[in-house]
Structures are given as C-alpha cells and as structure tokens.
Amino acid sequence: MSGVRIGRRLLAAATGGVAVLAVAAGPAATAHADAEGPTVVAKGLDSPRGLSFGPDGTLYIAESGHGGKIKCATPPAQNGEKAEKMCLGLTGRISTLKDGKTKVLIDGLPSAASGPFALGPHDVARNDKGDLLVTIGFSGDTAFRAKLGPKARTLGTLLTLSKNGRRISIADLVAYETKHNPDRKDKGSAVDSYPFGVAPLPGGGALVADTGGNSVLRVSKKGKVSTEAVFHARSVAAPPALKMPKGSKIPMQSVPMGITRGPDGAYYVAEHGGFPNPEGFARVFRLKNGKVTTAASGFTTVADVAFDAKGRLIVLGSVGPLPAEGMSKSTVYRVESDGTRTELLKPGTLTTPLGVAVGPDGAVYVADKAMAPGKGEVLRVPVPE
C-alpha cells in the first residue's frame, strides 16, 4: 500500500471465557439481530475516526480535520494517474461525548487534506495514567512530510498528550518506516507509513497499527519504536478490470487498521485487506508476544474491532462480494462463540465508518461519515443479547 491516492481509496472502501478464541477460521453463517435502529449521539464532527471509552464513561473521538492553508505539497503520482495536492492545517482535534454533550477537548492538531480526504488524528486511547495516546495519520515518507513544512512534523507520529493538550512525548513512526520498512521483502512493498489504530500497553507504551507499513509497531513509554509484527502480502487473482492474462496473480497488501486489547491480554488487529479486496479474504488477527494467529476470518473488509462485556468480538467490516463501485457496505457484526456472525446493523445504513467501540451501557458506538468534514457523526447501535 502506498501513497495518498491509495489512502483515499482505503478510507472510501472502509468503511466469562474469551469467546473469540473459539471462532473457526472458515466461512460463517450470518444471523440478524432484532433491535431498534441506531441513533445519532454526536454530529457536526470533522472527519471522525477512532473511538474509545474512558473509565468514567466518557467517549473520546479522534477527528482528522479538513486540512488548511499553511502549506501545500504534491506527492509523486502513481504511473498513469494524476497527482493530488495535499494542504496542511491545524484542524485536527480530540472531542469528547459525555452525558449527551459533545465538546472539543484538544484542538490545533495537524491535518493534511486533499478534498474531503483528511490525514490527521486517527485514533485515541487513554493509558494507565489517564494521558491520551493519539495516532496522527500520514501517507508517505519523511521526504514528502518535509515538503509540508515544519508544522507537519507531527504527521505520522504517536503523540502522548495530557488532557489539557500538553505534549508529553512523541514517537516518529514515519521516520521508523522510512529507515526500516518492515515489509520490504514483500512484492509491491513501498516506504509508506500511515499510523492508524492504537492500543495502550500495561505499564506504559503502546502498540500502533501502521496501515501503510503493514505492521504493528511497539512504542515504549520513552518513545522508542520497534517492530512487533509484520503482516505480509498475499497473492490473489487479478481482477478482470486490470485486463491481465487469464490466471494472472497480483500481490494484495494486508492493511492492518484498528487494534484493541482483548480480555485474554492478547491484541486483536483488524485486517482491511488491500486492492482488489476479494470476498472472504479479510481477517482479524490475534497478536500475543509477537506471535500472530487468525482469530476470525471470512470477511471482505475489516476496519476496526472491539470486545463486549462478555468477551465477544465486535467487528466493523463487510462480508460478501465488493460492490461494482468498490465501496464496501461496512456494518457491525458480533462474532459468537460458535463462529457465526450476528449482524447488528443492516448493511448500507452506514456511509464511511472507521471506528467502533462498546460503551458501558452495552451498546456499540460507530464513527461514521469519516470523509465528510463538518458532517461526521457518532451512532449508538443498541445490541440485543
């Protein structure tokens, strides 16, 4: 996965015991939940992405913003495609939802945008000390970031911030990808860092899913970056649209997105899957002590994951063939202990959802309209047992 254009395509497409450990890796039947429809609990958000709840029930919302006019730069174009200028602003922010009221907690965070596609705060989580871990999105390497000027230096990083916005530490994930490129041996690999999901580590530090780098990176509490896991490309059938000879194969990038800590202490990673997103190829990985296994499979795309109070896996993703226009109809599924999927929301209800979290009330919360600056929403989805 490489470049701003592919980053835009990705966001457009995204859309007791530990029950997930018993999930079979094969296709599963989908049951439908009977519940009242979703309600909008926050609106007017600026490109909302990741969601997380604090211990007091406060919902934290990462908003990627809408760029600005500080400085613009154009990355190299892919062969035969038009280059897309990106412009930097300080319109990214972290907001909260508490007792039905939404407010901006931290603003002035970097945001680089090309049209409605914004790169800025992508995920937020609280660590043990109550500080906020915020991934700041990017798509590219240090050379392109430098073209956006000095105020772009925190694009492609993990920021640790106090609740009043004071910067405590910064881990430069773009610099790490530029130097190491963990998936460099894969066909189609390029130097491209796109920090997305973040999950705190007990005792300090965090794991970050790097969507562009096809890796999970470990950030120590002192800001040192290392590779925790690499998700390698797979060879898949070339789609007819490419007009390649019959039987041709192309590399499909893994594209890890959301990450969360499970009730068993392992970390679970959403694999969105890269172009051409063949039906049933996307998975949810289980990551423990650097070892990667498959926790659930049979999805076409997966954008984010969470767990409910009973240890059941909640998946924001899609199943079935990708529609002709390439826009997956992402919805919310619960993976039951026998491997079946319970559909919690009718496909097509959401627009471009990128974040999911389970609230203390047991409902599922979804960040939607991630590419609609100023029109983003958080939806509350009631969940039956």
What are the C-alpha distances in Å from 241 to residues 14, 21, 280? 20, 38, 19
**Confidence class for position 328, pLDDT limits 50, 70, 90:** confident
Q: Using an 8 Å Cβ cutoff, are 213 and 180 in contact?
A: no
Q: Average pLDDT for residues 347-359, to the nearest whole number?
A: 95
Q: Residue 169: CB partners within 8 Å, gap ≥ 6? A: 159, 160, 221, 222, 223
Q: What is the pLDDT of residue 164?
A: 85
Most confident of 29-33, 125-129, 319-323: 125-129
Q: Which of 63, 147, 77 is nearest to 110 (CA)?
A: 63
Q: Give the whole-angstrom CA distance, residue 196 versus residue 211.
A: 6
Query: Which is higher by pLDDT, 5 or 201?
Result: 201
E strand or H helix that includes residue 180: helix 173-180
Q: Residue 65: CB partners within 8 Å, gap ≥ 6? A: 46, 47, 89, 90, 91, 92, 93, 109, 111, 113, 118, 120, 121, 373
Give the global pTM. 0.92
Q: What is the pLDDT of residue 307?
A: 98
Query: Which is higher by pLDDT, 384 or 169?
Result: 169
Q: Using an 8 Å Cβ cutoff, are 89 and 69 in contact?
A: yes
Q: Which of 14, 11, 10 is nearest to 253 (CA)?
A: 10
Query: Which is higher by pLDDT, 124 or 9?
Result: 124
Residues 74-84: tens digit of each pLDDT? 987 766 677 78
Q: What is the pLDDT of residue 34?
A: 60
Q: Using an 8 Å Cβ cutoff, are 53 and 314 in contact?
A: no
We report the CATH number of the domain holding residue 156 as 2.120.10.30
Inform me whether the pLDDT recorded for 13 exceeds 80. no
Q: What is the pLDDT of residue 84?
A: 86
Residue 289: CB atoms within 10 A of its CB come to 7
Please give the tally of structural domains in the chain. Answer: 1
Residues 338-352: tens digit of each pLDDT? 889 999 999 999 999
Q: Using an 8 Å Cβ cutoff, are 221 and 203 in contact?
A: yes
Residues 140-183: tens digit of each pLDDT? 899 999 999 999 999 999 999 998 889 999 999 999 999 999 99
Q: What is the pLDDT of residue 9?
A: 46
| Both structure tokens of 81 | 């495609």
Lowest pLDDT segment from 47-56, 234-243, 283-292:
234-243
Residues 184-200: tens digit of each pLDDT? 988 878 899 999 999 99
Q: What is the pLDDT of residue 15?
A: 40
Q: Tell me which residue range forms the domain holding 313.
A: 3-238+247-381
Residue 105: CB atoms within 10 A of its CB come to 17
Dihedrals phi, psi of 178, to nearest 5 degrees: -60, -40
What residue type is assigned to position 45 of the chain? L
Q: Using an 8 Å Cβ cutoff, are 231 and 254 in contact?
A: yes
Inform me whether the pLDDT recorded for 7 exceeds 80. no
Q: Using an 8 Å Cβ cutoff, are 353 and 368 in contact?
A: yes
Q: What is the pLDDT of residue 26?
A: 43
Residues 36-74: tens digit of each pLDDT? 789 999 999 999 999 999 999 999 999 999 999 999 999
